[in-house]
Amino acid sequence: MHDKFSYTQYLVRRKVLAVVGAKFHIYNANEELVMFSQLKAFKLKEDIRLYSDESMSQELLTISARNIIDFSATYDVKDALTGEHVGSLRRKGMKSILKDEWIILNAGEVEIGRIKEDSTLFAMLRRFLSNLIPQTYNVLMNGTTVSTFKQNFNPFVTKINVDFSSDPGQVLDRRLGLAASVLLCAIEGKQN
């Protein structure tokens, strides 16, 4: 696994006014750029690629939707350097109407964890007040929180702080965790 996946804290930032599609910058705790992604506008099927920098010369990770339109969409995560299928992230369609929830699947399609929005009350308020109430997601594996994704309050820029510090043994593959945070940032950007 590439060393860019070895940090315990990241900041995922979605650039606001990108003309050709959304741009994502991923920084480590020292505010150094460690990954970059540029989504193409008007794509029917999500296809997100994370690169080592803005030159986009070294692809690190791919996140691809299985279907064009799917209420309970599944996204496959692959290591671009090794070709390894790392796992998948599946949105819980009906449950996500009230409160966002995702299932984390390993490479063998077995559920290994869940990503859940923090509270039903705040989730409902967010549906009505847009991004005035920042989202927080807890990543649970075996009933234990191994990571958190916290959105910064900013009505103009989507930023998610990713914290893996409660998972020193790396129960959650950092590649899956970062893929999830970028997906949440991309989907949140479409909902607003």
pLDDT band per the 50, 70, 90 thresholds, residue 191: very low
Tell me the pLDDT of the chain averaged across its residues: 85
For 3-191, the fitting CATH number among 3.40.50.880, 2.40.420.20, 2.30.30.180, 2.40.160.200 is 2.40.160.200
Which one has a higher pLDDT value, 19 or 141?
A: 141
Q: Where are the domains of the chain?
A: 3-191
**Tokens 């989202």 sit at which residue?**
135
Question: What is the greatest pairwise CA distance in the chain?
Answer: 44
Cα distances from 190 to residues 10, 34, 79, in angstroms, run 22, 24, 25
Cα–Cα dist 144/167, whole Å: 10
What whole-number distance in Å separates Cα of residue 101 and Cα of residue 117? 6
**Kind plus residue range of the DSSP H or E element containing 178:** helix 174-191
Arithmetic mean of pLDDT, 40-46? 67
Residue-by-residue DSSP string for 21-33: S-EEEEEETT--E
Task: Note the pLDDT tens digit of each residue in 58-68.
Answer: 999 999 998 87
The answer for 170, left when phi > 0, alpha when psi is -120 to 50, beta otherwise, is left
157, burial (CB in 10 Å: exposed 0-12, middle 13-18, buried 19+):
exposed
Residue indicated by tokens 């590649």: 175
pLDDT digits 0-9 by tens, 145-188: 999 999 887 767 789 999 999 999 999 999 999 999 999 888 75
